[in-house]
Amino acid sequence: QVKKQCDQKLLIRMKTKCVPCSLNLDTQCPAGYTKITNGTGTPDCRYYLEFKTHTLSFPGCRHRCVKEFEQPECCQGHWGPDCMGK
């Protein structure tokens, strides 16, 4: 039995919106994603607040999220929707 289907595992990474670190404890990743940072997340971003004519920038935190995705792919030498071609 020759293996025809060789699915590729892809890791999709994303970061949540930048917010004040004190508010980031409860931030959740989007559905299907797994949070890989703990606590208040990573303090590597800035968020902005607008006051009338000024915009102020503050250091903030965000979480990193990952999602594993399997992309269907045929093994070498096979092709088509059912990977039968040879």
Answer yes or no: is pLDDT of 85 > 90. no
- Confidence tier at 86 by pLDDT (50, 70, 90): low
Q: How many helices (H) and strands (E) does the chain have?
A: 0, 5
Query: What whole-number distance in Å separates Cα of residue 73 and Cα of residue 75?
Result: 7
Counting Cβ atoms within 10 Å, is residue 27 exposed (0-12), middle (13-18) or buried (19+)?
Answer: middle
pLDDT at 1: 62
Residues 39-75: pLDDT tens digits?
Answer: 999 999 999 999 889 999 999 999 999 999 898 899 9
Residues 1-48: pLDDT tens digits?
Answer: 678 889 999 999 999 999 999 999 999 999 999 999 999 999 999 999
Query: What whole-number distance in Å separates Cα of residue 28 and Cα of residue 68?
Result: 17
